Chains A and B, each alone.
Chain A
């Protein structure tokens, strides 16, 4: 039960903090933002790592491998493309507005 409360708490806390932080991000950066959060959603890779940390059956391994490959693609590709995009935003003088 404490576990459940803790989990619910973490969810609500992250959602609220995330909500406030993200509402203040300028629209200028919305595409890179989506691209980065997309990469973050590949955090499921941690779950797959945990799956591979205990004994598993063949079918679990196959399913896990697929999940792992897709998550790795999403994670690494997502951060890489966000980085490339952000490097194109030229910086000159100070920041823009907001």
Chain B
């Protein structure tokens, strides 16, 4: 509704805009940012009071009800959410903003289509379209970020043409709606909404996980534009000003993200076909594995992992001897082999050796609800030792050893990592997060689901195939023996080659030596750190090293993670001083004077190939120059290329020490090593 603004009102409006700008201005300093946020919130409160005092409220009951209905869940979610979920939450809120904008536009258009000015009507139609596409696009983004939707880009046949056709149809409809007779406009409005929602979906489903920072920033901008158009329909300066500011912010962030990834906006939104690395299984195309997270399927391609050639039973017994915490995962195979008594024998043996032993019970392990509980209770286990899936899952990453006994699908990491397989999204026991896994299964064939179990191929998994009763008996025997190494000849394959994890330990020792003697250390976190939830361990390590007199800084690449500044938030959550978080351009000159660059779950952003080669997807991308440090320690999940698909030449550098595996586990190992060396 056009309103005549008196001069005084205009001044008041500008005061509110002033407070808002002050709020943004305060964001330039980290310690003032909190007040900036409060100032912006205060500005909007003032704006609301102004609007109410000028116009009054016709339906106070509706207003109060809606306010509570929106604000209460808003605050509740904001309090409850963890920092790793922030990107998904922000995307979801973009969606909420989008839906509000397009419903407001719709209401205004419906109310005033006869007497709206041409300008207002066009604004309304644009607000409708942009609001709706922001809504659906954000919902897709939120789904991808929270892991509810697949991380891999979904590419439909003729995707680009589809997007273009959709966009064209939207433009035609907006024009048609503008000239349509009054009676038919509502139909056009609805068509615009439907097409815009469709557009948002088609547009965002093809954007892969690692490109999310761009999408989320872009949606931030469109939400702002939608709000500004809403302001134009009702001719309200405040809406326009706020919308424009948000649009500016979103555009800047989009630009920064694109630049940092060396991609044009166009190429993010219209991705070029990547050369498939392997013909098989496009569902497992590395994407999340990219920045090296929890990606065991990739382990298949890592032939450097030599399976321990020594007697696996001794290896298993060795692992058990060295472990402090042990989780046992029983499955239907245990029931079939009637091995529960032997399993209990194993567990009591371990308990008597001072280990902490827990049984992890998957809800569908066995053939009836609570099947495993019954079997173990029968064998006389204390029910305190039986833990349910949700309670035990967080503990796996701090567990030294996990025995899997006759369980397959319920511990298959593919359920979390791949798309489109029969078990995708199935809740599993995260035994792959344990430092070592011993599998006592009959064979290494897929389980009921028919999906290959990628856990079997992990480098830290020891396979003891055969009847569970037999294999466990052997492990127990080995455990009872004093010095297992002396008995190397007792089995068919005692060739005496070091087990793989022993080699890892040598690397670990080398890394510890470097860290202890280093004066200047730069830590580079990447999305892999976020995936492994390793930030607390990483910060603990940083504090430990700092307490020993080393200078420690964190180097933050602008696109590390899934949204702008993602690493900063995670590290702030882990209580790092923000003056230790250094931007790329500021820290790059320092690398050449640095003793150790410690990389946690980052790949492309430290790949020297970006500077050295031409014509690769990352050529020219700005990187953190970790390769200039005297020593580089890489704590990544695997040595595969990151999202870009370009091999990381840093990994092959002789001064690089590779510590592969879960970043949180590696960090704990480093902490332990450094403490010991102290």
Contact = CB atoms under 8 A, between A and B. Distances in A.
**A interacts with B:** yes
A59 B111 CA distance: 10
Given A25-B27, A37-B249, A96-B581, A50 B37 contact: no
Contacts of B586: 97
Contacts of B2: 3
B244 A14 contact: yes
A44 B97 contact: yes
B interface secondary structure, majority = helix
Contacts of A60: 107, 110-111
Given A21-B21, A22-B249, A32-B569, A42 B40 contact: no
B224 interface: yes
A19 B393 CA distance: 45
Contacts of B333: none
Contacts of B331: none
A15 B55 CA distance: 27
A31 to B, nearest CB: 4
Given A32-B37, A38-B90, A72-B69, A25 B20 contact: no
B25 interface: yes
Contacts of B57: 49, 52-53
Per DSSP, are chain A's interface residues mostly helix, strand or loop, or mixed? helix
A12 B243 CA distance: 11
Given A34-B253, A44-B100, A85-B86, A68 B30 contact: no
A76 B40 CA distance: 12
Contacts of A66: 99, 103
Interface stretch (B60-68, B378-386, B452-460, B627-635): B60-68
Interface string B319-347: 00000000000000000000000000000
A50 B66 contact: no
Nearest to B69: A69
Contacts of B582: 97
Contact of B107 (A46, A55, A67, A74): A67
Contacts of B391: none
Max chain B C-beta neighbours (<10 A), residue from A18, A26, A66, A68: A18
Given A22-B248, A69-B70, A89 B96 contact: no
B31 A31 contact: no
A72 B71 contact: yes
Interface stretch (B41-49, B278-286, B520-528): B41-49
Contacts of B38: 83
Interface string B15-47: 001001101110111111110111011001001
Contact of B577 (A19, A54, A92): A92
Given A40-B245, A72-B70, A10 B240 contact: yes
Interface in B576-591: 576-579, 581-583, 586
Contacts of A33: 27, 249, 253, 564-565
Contacts of B99: 66-67, 70
Given A38-B93, A47-B230, A79-B37, A74 B74 contact: yes
Contact of A68 (B47, B67, B77, B216): B67
B576 A14 contact: no
Interface of B: 1-2, 17, 20-21, 23-25, 27-34, 36-38, 40-41, 44, 47-48, 51-52, 55-59, 62-63, 65-67, 69-71, 73-75, 77-79, 81, 83, 86, 89-90, 93-94, 96-97, 99-101, 103-104, 106-108, 110-111, 119, 216-217, 220, 223-224, 226-228, 230-253, 256, 556, 558, 563-566, 568-569, 572-573, 575-579, 581-583, 586
Interface of A: 3-4, 6-7, 10-19, 21-57, 59-61, 63-98
